[in-house]
């Protein structure tokens, strides 16, 4: 059941909302939490009910282990607690390793050794990367004494809460548990409903109107490359740019829809996307793109490896290892390793440049030059991210450095260029969703103060009307976007991050 499907928008979401608040009003908050857990299980099991055994087993295992770790720490049996935490992390990694990487490992060994070795097809359960990383963080925090005695029902909701279950954000227990326990969460609020619905509509529009239309120009180019066909230089560049903005609006749209759906229930999810194509360097990019994954990798991989505490060379090695892990998290294939490695290399270059030149310049010309260079670097890395085959990525890179052929250009290239220019204008010159909604604190710990710290974009400086307020004007704008999006639901496509 996709966020951009009629059954979710017109049936599942309103029915779950109605049941949640109705049960809370006539029964007890705990019954309402149970309802939301049951609804989330239905949502997850929609794709394949057999996956419920996996997510249920994972949840029971990690909760039991985490509570025992908390208890052992209180008894000053720290060595025992550490042993349990390590065992739990290993089991979680083995679980995700089998389902996500077993075929990749076997295929790689077979290729290197020349010995045919097969284990049969292993079907990747949806969202396994997200709920596994979320629970690994819980175990580590339990060992560090940063997790409390949680009720199992609240823990189940923390893991299963359907707005963030399938493709993030990767939430932290400290962010979610207090909200699930707050009394006001169980009382319907017109502000929460209108704010949540507006954010949800923004995301739906990004997905079905922007991302899915850009896919029309990206998919044929990459399909041709993966099939071994020759790709002209201009087609390669336009196809790669089209995909780069497709994944941008696809992921930004999903993040908005997740935050919006959660807000209708009175829950604020953390930001996961903050105009990453406005970044002026790869360091800045990873502070804006998949922010909760970046947070997880920094805290539980980079810092665990030593971070920047052991000299510059060790710091760069840790950066590269962290980004290779991030690449493999996205997919079991050497193309994803290459994608992570490229970002690791660019991060090292960016850090090295700052060590020599100093902090980023605030000169407008320098800022825009850095922004353009960063965007081109990001676009280049998306070739292996999108190409299905290694040969397809090689063909695309070869085409991008070949001489242009201006003879008999297909009309689709003009359309692709128009869509890409429109996408660039939206990304660079318009405020993002949370900036527009800043007055009503759209996400966890994001409001006007956070907006002031990051600097008001020029549009918000000169146009106070850019801020959302409950008004007929904004109601009309939201209704128009919603109708345009609903009219595009006849060509439903999965969100790109569902495959991870």
Q: What is the pLDDT of residues 471-500, one digit of tens each?
A: 899 999 999 999 999 988 876 676 666 665
Residue appearing with tokens 């935490």 = 85
- Res 285: pLDDT: 95
- Res 497: pLDDT: 62
The token duo for 353 is 């440049």
State the Cα–Cα distance between residues 340 and 329, nearest whole angstrom. Answer: 9
In sequence order, what are the residues at sequence separation of 6 or more whose Cβ sits closer than 8 angstroms to the Cβ of residue 411? Answer: none
State the Cα–Cα distance between residues 243 and 400, nearest whole angstrom. Answer: 14
**pLDDT confidence of 335, banded at 50, 70, 90?**
confident
Q: Is 443 helix (H, G, I), strand (E, B) or coil?
A: strand
Give the CA angle between residues 291, 495, 177 to the nearest 5°. 45
The token duo for 232 is 């002209």
- Active-site residue, selected from the candidate residues 290, 330, 343, 351: 330
State the Cα–Cα distance between residues 207 and 489, nearest whole angstrom. Answer: 10
The token duo for 100 is 């996500």
Contact, 347 vs 353, CB < 8 A? no
Average pLDDT on 135-154 reads: 87
Contact, 110 vs 133, CB < 8 A? no
156 closest CA partner among 10, 16, 287, 56 = 56
CB neighbourhood size of 238 (10 A): 22
Query: To 10 degrees, the CA torsion angle through 189, 194, 198, 201?
Result: 90
How many CA atoms lie less than 13 Å away from 53 in the CB half-sphere?
3
Q: What are phi and psi of 270, to 5 degrees?
A: -70, 155
pLDDT > 60? residue 215: yes
- Whether residue 169 is preceded by a cis peptide bond, meaning omega within 30 degrees of 0, is yes
- Res 91: pLDDT: 93
Gyration radius of the chain over CA positions: 23
Q: Is 33 helix (H, G, I), strand (E, B) or coil?
A: helix
State the Cα–Cα distance between residues 242 and 248, nearest whole angstrom. Answer: 10
pLDDT > 70? residue 462: no
CB neighbourhood size of 413 (10 A): 16
State the Cα–Cα distance between residues 196 and 5, nearest whole angstrom. Answer: 18
Q: Is 118 helix (H, G, I), strand (E, B) or coil?
A: coil
What are the pLDDT digits (tens) for 58-113?
Answer: 999 999 999 999 999 888 888 899 999 999 999 999 988 888 888 778 777 777 77
Give the CA angle between residues 69, 72, 75 to the nearest 5°. 155
The token duo for 26 is 């006539």
The token duo for 451 is 């907006």
Answer yes or no: 330 catalytic: yes
Give the CA angle between residues 449, 450, 456 to the nearest 5°. 90
What are the pLDDT digits (tens) for 339-381?
Answer: 999 999 999 999 998 888 888 888 889 899 999 999 999 999 9
- Res 88: pLDDT: 93
Helix axes of 334-357 and 390-400: crossing angle, nearest 10 degrees: 50
> Which of the residue ranges 88-97, 266-275, 465-474 would you say has the lowest mean pLDDT?
465-474
- Res 312: pLDDT: 86
> 362-368 contacts: CB < 8 A, separation 24 or more?
367/280
**pLDDT confidence of 460, banded at 50, 70, 90?**
low
The token duo for 321 is 């290892």
Q: What are phi and psi of 441, to 5 degrees?
A: 45, 75
Mean of per-residue pLDDT scores for the chain: 88
The token duo for 446 is 């994001």
pTM > 0.95: no
446 DSSP β-pair partners: 443
> What element of type H or E holds 29?
helix 29-45
Size of the chain in residues? 500
In sequence order, what are the residues at sequence separation of 6 or more whose Cβ sits closer than 8 angstroms to the Cβ of residue 311? Answer: none
**pLDDT confidence of 249, banded at 50, 70, 90?**
very high
Burial of residue 58, with CB atoms counted within 10 A of its CB: 0-12 exposed, 13-18 middle, 19 or more buried: buried
The token duo for 126 is 């949806």
Residue 275 Ramachandran class (φ > 0 left, ψ -120 to 50 alpha, else beta): left
């Amino acid at each position: 059941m996709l966020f951009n499907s009629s059954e979710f928008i017109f049936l599942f979401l309103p029915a779950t909302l109605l049941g949640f608040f109705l049960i809370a009003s006539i029964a007890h908050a705990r019954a309402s939490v149970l309802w939301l857990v049951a609804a989330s299980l239905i949502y997850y099991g929609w794709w394949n009910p057999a996956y419920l055994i996996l997510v249920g087993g994972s949840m029971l295992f990690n909760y039991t282990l985490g509570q025992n770790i908390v208890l052992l720490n209180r008894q000053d049996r720290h060595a025992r607690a550490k042993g349990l935490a390590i065992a739990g992390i290993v089991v979680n990694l083995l679980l995700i390793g089998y389902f996500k990487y077993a075929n990749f490992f076997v295929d790689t060994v077979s290729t290197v050794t020349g010995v045919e070795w097969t284990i049969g097809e292993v079907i990747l359960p949806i969202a396994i990367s997200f709920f596994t990383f979320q629970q690994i963080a819980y175990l580590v925090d339990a060992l560090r004494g940063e997790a409390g005695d949680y009720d199992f029902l609240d823990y189940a909701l923390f893991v299963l809460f359907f707005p963030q279950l399938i493709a993030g954000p990767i939430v932290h227990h400290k962010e979610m548990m207090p909200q699930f326990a707050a009394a006001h969460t169980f009382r319907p609020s017109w502000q929460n409903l209108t704010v949540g619905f507006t954010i949800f509509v923004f995301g739906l529009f990004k997905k079905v109107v922007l991302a899915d239309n850009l896919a029309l120009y990206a998919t044929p180019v990459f399909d041709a490359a993966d099939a071994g066909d020759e790709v002209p230089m201009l087609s390669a560049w336009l196809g790669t740019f089209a995909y780069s903005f497709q994944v941008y609006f696809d992921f930004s749209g999903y993040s908005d829809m997740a935050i919006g759906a959660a807000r209708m229930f009175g829950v604020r999810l953390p930001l996961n996307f903050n105009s990453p194509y406005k970044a002026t360097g790869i360091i800045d990019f990873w502070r804006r793109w998949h922010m909760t994954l970046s947070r997880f990798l920094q805290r539980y991989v980079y810092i665990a490896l030593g971070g920047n505490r052991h000299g510059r060379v060790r710091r760069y090695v840790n950066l590269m290892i962290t980004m290779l892990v991030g690449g493999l998290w996205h997919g079991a294939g050497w193309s994803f390793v290459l994608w992570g490695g490229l970002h690791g290399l660019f991060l090292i270059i960016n850090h090295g440049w700052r060590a020599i030149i100093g902090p980023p310049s605030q000169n407008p010309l320098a800022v825009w030059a850095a922004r353009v260079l960063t965007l081109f670097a990001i676009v280049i890395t998306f070739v292996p991210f999108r190409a299905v085959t290694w040969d397809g990525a090689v063909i695309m890179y070869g085409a991008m450095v070949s001489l242009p052929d201006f003879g008999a250009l297909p009309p689709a290239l003009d359309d692709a260029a128009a869509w890409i220019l429109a996408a660039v204008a939206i990304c660079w010159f318009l405020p993002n969703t949370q900036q527009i909604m800043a007055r009503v604190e759209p996400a966890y710990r994001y409001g006007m103060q956070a907006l002031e710290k990051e600097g008001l974009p020029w549009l918000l400086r000169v146009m106070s009307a850019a801020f959302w307020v409950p008004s007929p004007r904004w109601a009309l704008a939201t209704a128009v976007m919603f109708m345009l999006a609903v009219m595009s639901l006849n060509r439903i496509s999965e969100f790109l991050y569902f495959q991870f």
